[in-house]
Amino acid sequence: MRRDPYARLARHYDLLMADLPYRRWISFIAAFARKIGPAPLIADAGCGTGTVALGLIQRGYSVLGWDRSPEMLAQASYKAQEMGLSLPLWQGELASLPPRADLVISTCDGLNHLLSSGQVVDFFIRVRDCLAPGGGLLFDINSEYRYRRLLGNRVFSWERAGLDLVWRNRYVPPFNIADIDLYWREEGDSWAKTSLTIRQRCHSLSSLVYYLEQAGFRLEGVWEDYRTRAIAPDTRRLTLAARKA
């Protein structure tokens, strides 16, 4: 069984993702949640370290989350305790949904980690089955433009406080493979290193819309990265919203 790469990434994840526009994401999700009902139960699929889930809880929503990585969930649990918030968590694959929810979300290209069309279809069907009538699904994906034009077959490196990263990327359509080396400073002048590989699949927008409709959803809209504006040829992250038909 292939080891979960996030087991080695979890303790550094928030530092590496510090530049993501989480506040905009949370505001967009909250606005969509208000269309679902006055007090919707939100299920966060692939919640990671819980940043989005906790932000929604701070806005008054009931949220539960799950992730395949126990290490990521441990970080989410610690953050919830530090903030004095209640965030129910459990470990499971992306399609391991709760018995019921009013809105299911999956942020930060969670669906790109589903490497086959069958996995995507299974996820959509399971979401439909757990949603209350009129419930919603909101998620984002990395675009083909990001994979082909921005990541491609390139090498990246950057530094954060006490943390260095080297990313060797390969895009072999429709798959993207990121081989990552992490270096971080231990006590004193010593450094530690870990290596991991993250695999994703570029799913076409047309395929996702087709799978949604086949699973019993009605597409509400497609936008650019949690903004209320239309996608463009150079859009890097697509945000899709659908309602249970």
Confidence of residue 30 (pLDDT cuts 50, 70, 90): very high
Q: How far apart are CA 9 and CA 180, in angstroms?
A: 10
Q: How far apart are CA 87 and CA 50, in angstroms?
A: 8
Which of 104, 135, 107 lies closest to 47 in space, CA to CA? 107
One domain, residues 111 and 220: yes
In this structure, the chain runs to a length of 245
Q: Which residue has the tokens 């989005």?
A: 52
CATH number at 190 reads 2.20.25.110
From CA 165, how far away is CA 143, in angstroms rounded? 23
From 77-91, 154-168, 179-193, 209-223, the region with the lowest mean pLDDT: 179-193
Q: Do 226 and 117 share a structural domain?
A: yes
4 pLDDT band, cuts 50/70/90, is low
Q: Are residues 167 and 60 in the same domain?
A: no
Model confidence pLDDT, tens digit, residues 115-136: 999 999 999 999 999 998 899 9
19 and 91 in a single domain? The answer is yes
Q: Which two tokens stand for residue 95?
A: 């399609």
Entry pTM: 0.94
pLDDT higher than threshold 80 for residue 1? no
Tell me which residue range forms the domain holding 117. 6-143+203-244
Query: Which tokens is 216 given?
Result: 């019993």
Q: Does 176 share its domain with 214? A: no
Strand partners, 26: none
73 shares its domain with 184: no
**What's 79's domain CATH number?**
3.40.50.150
Percentage of the chain exceeding pLDDT 70:
98
- Tell me whether residue 1 is in a domain: no
Residue 2 pLDDT greater than 50, yes or no: no
